[in-house]
Amino acid sequence: MNSLRNFSQEMTGIVLFMLFIVLFLAGDWVKDYIPDEFLTSSMVNVITIFLSILLEAIPFILIGVFASALIQVFVSESLLQRIIPKRFPYLALFPAAIVGALLPVCECAIVPVARRLIKKGMPAHLAIVVMVTAPILNPIVFASTYYAFQNNMTVVFGRMGIALVAALIIGALLYRFYGKRNPLIQKEHDHGHHHDHSSNKLMQTIVHASDEFFDMGKYLIIGAFVAAGFQTYLDRELLVGIGTNEVLAPAVMMGFAYIISLCSEADAFVASSFGSIFSVSSILAFLVYGPMIDFKNTLLMLAYFNKKFVLIFIGVVTIVVYTCTLIVQLFV
């Protein structure tokens, strides 16, 4: 059953990616076969925004998946565990955040990494700090955020600053609420993803990169399309009204991030398309909250972690990120 589900998910990613390639390379030819009543001005606008998001995001996605694959193949969890001290639970938050910043792993792949770290003996609150910092603080995400917001460096550095502060607070609160208990679901048989552990490191890297690309590719395509439709069909006056509300706007953008957050390398390009409508703090809420927790990550966490821990984690992340963005709002 698992192999059939994995196969269907991989085929979905491949089909969606091939559809994008066809639309990009043969768009004019395909357009001749589409009825004129379908190609309304609104639909053309959706397609334009959709393709612009994808074309800007894909180069950073490719860099991210190969960097992630290199980490997966050449860096062991035991090495990371030796770097982070376990004797001082609060002081260890800082090296955990640094380790997360050095891991160019998208949120699509970071939950299994956090689970492996806990299984190898890392305290849960430190593994969670790695989990929430890795998708945001790594150099590739910084580069993509800079590229998307070149004219607004407040967003670029604000995303990194909020992510770091929020991650440390989240880790401290989780340790305070959950202590040293193991949050993982205990199973008699651990059915993980088994990859080829042969000596051919290059082949392993390519396999990991291709798996991750097609896994996150479907989220990228679906999310870009939803974002394009959201901007095209949602009442512009309603968006402007929400976007100018200092209290409501960050919460709305966090909810939006939870539902359609892409990979962290691509989120910046979606957020930049809302830059003329939503405030800086709202954009920051979207850019920080989505990579830390979204719908697909919630499903992954529920598969690995017990329900109580997941609910505590979601509550803590939501309150901390929202509070941080409101504080930033006072200074921007």
Paired with 184 in beta bridges are: 305
Is the pLDDT assigned to residue 242 strictly greater than 80? no
Residue 16 included in any domain? no
Residue 3 in domain: no
> Does residue 192 belong to any structural domain of this protein?
no
d(CA 245, CA 117): 41
CA dist 221 and 53 (Å) reads 9
Neighbours of 35 (CB within 10 A): 6
Mean pLDDT of 129-158: 92
> Is 72 contained in some domain?
yes
Determine, yes or no, domain membership for 15.
no
Q: 111 lies in a domain?
A: yes
Q: Among 54-63, 83-92, 196-205, 310-319, which is the least confidently predicted range?
A: 196-205
- Write out pLDDT tens, residues 14-31: 665 566 566 555 555 555
Task: With cut-offs at 50, 70 and 90, classify the pLDDT of residue 68.
Answer: low
How many domains is the chain partitioned into structurally? Answer: 1
Q: Which tokens go with 258?
A: 């939870």
pLDDT, mean of residues 128-145 = 92
Angstrom distances, CA of residue 149 to CA of 65, 243, 252, 272, 285: 22, 18, 21, 7, 15
pTM: 0.72
The full 3-state SS of 88-153, as one line of letters, equals CCCCCHHHHHHHHHCCCCCHHHHHHHHHHHHHCCCCHHHHHHHHHHHHHHCHHHHHHHHHHCCCCH
Identify the band that residue 121 occupies on the pLDDT scale cut at 50, 70 and 90: confident
Distance CA(206)–CA(202), nearest Å, equals 6
Is 70 exceeded by the pLDDT of residue 249?
Answer: yes
Q: Which of 36-40, 96-100, 171-175 has the highest mean pLDDT?
A: 171-175
Q: Which domain holds residue 252?
A: 41-183+199-331
- Structural domain contains residue 176: yes
Name the pLDDT band for 79 (thresholds 50, 70, 90): confident
The percentage of the chain sitting over the pLDDT mark of 90, rounded to a whole number, equals 25
Q: What is the pLDDT of residues 42-52, one digit of tens each?
A: 777 788 777 77
Residue 188 in domain: no
